[in-house]
A = this chain, B = another copy of it.
């Protein structure tokens, strides 16, 4: 009933347990035949090494931690799924992909280089800094996804949010819109700031002043997009186009438009950010910016694995392109008289 160990195999093979260990680890020191014989016995006994013992002596846990700022809120399901899948794909099967929220820990004492061989942090905001510090001072290999931090010697991988938002806003401007609003991302999230920057930059280049009424708060979830759009629609002078800082909020925004009897894109243009699984299936299909989340995650994971193997730290910031995907939710503006007329019946 107790699991078979190398000693059991050693007895049957009439060799020492050391020889068994070496044979099973394919050491060149061992005779081909003995090796073969030992392996057959091991197979027959369904031997599988005790990872805890191995970990103890090799000083590796085989755990890769995938940390989110929190798992309880503020993470959208598509984002989460793609992140996990990307990491999972890049990690060798003998590693454990361990999902954690930073807020699981009252303090970071339990996070040691014994408990994680490496850590992937899908970081949202600067609040994660304490965690990053704890991890780096313990010399645990770390990659930072989705956010860049310049001060340190870290590997950062993220989408070019600013460029992506810039393209989206520029697209709206080129379509002829002048009254362009933005529904912003979650306050404090670096991605939110970067997207707003890109948006502002495009406005500036097209000499469109940034109307404070047209910059409304959101927090990346569907409901917040809905609420924000209602605020926008309540304005005396409505925008003719809205850049939503992510697709979830664009969904909510579209809902609000529909409820108000506005047609998208005839009465109002909408663009999103992320290009999640559902965007193409909305009616109208959502024009948005594709963010390669799964790629960011898998790239980060494989670099981490490399870094662990080579025992060296890499400090670099990798910006992955975010491209505009043109679909049906944005078009040239109606004249505003038309809008007011129809919308107010």
Which residues from chain A sit less than 8 Å from chain B, CB to CB? 3, 46, 48, 50-53, 55-56, 61, 63, 71-72, 75, 77-78, 80-82, 84-85, 88-89, 93-94, 96-101, 104-105, 109-110, 112-115, 222, 226, 251-252, 254-255, 258-259, 276-278, 281-283
Contacts and interface: CB of A to CB of B under 8 A. Distances in A.
Contacts of A282: 255
B109 A48 contact: yes
A48 B110 contact: yes
Nearest to A106: B93
Contact of A278 (B48, B100, B222, B258): B222
Given A84-B84, A98-B99, A283-B283, 16 more contacts: A3-B114, A48-B110, A48-B112, A51-B61, A52-B114, A55-B55, A72-B85, A72-B89, A77-B77, A77-B78, A77-B82, A77-B276, A80-B84, A222-B281, A226-B281, A259-B283
Contacts of A51: 61, 114-115
A255 B277 contact: no
Nearest to A259: B283
Q: By DSSP majority rule, is chain A's interface helix, strand, loop, or mixed? A: mixed
Contacts of A75: 81
A251 B222 contact: no
A109 B47 CA distance: 8
Given A114-B3, A226-B281, A251-B281, A84 B99 contact: yes
A185 to B, nearest CB: 17
A99 to B, nearest CB: 5
A77 B98 CA distance: 18
Given A77-B78, A222-B278, A98 B98 contact: yes
A112 to B, nearest CB: 5
Contacts of A259: 283
> Nearest 3 A-B pairs (CB), nearest first?
A77-B81, A52-B55, A258-B283
B98 A96 contact: yes
27 contacts: A48-B114, A51-B114, A51-B115, A52-B52, A52-B53, A52-B56, A52-B61, A52-B114, A56-B56, A63-B96, A71-B84, A71-B85, A71-B89, A75-B81, A77-B276, A80-B80, A84-B99, A88-B101, A96-B98, A97-B98, A98-B99, A99-B99, A226-B281, A251-B281, A254-B283, A259-B283, A278-B278
Given A96-B63, A278-B251, A50 B56 contact: yes
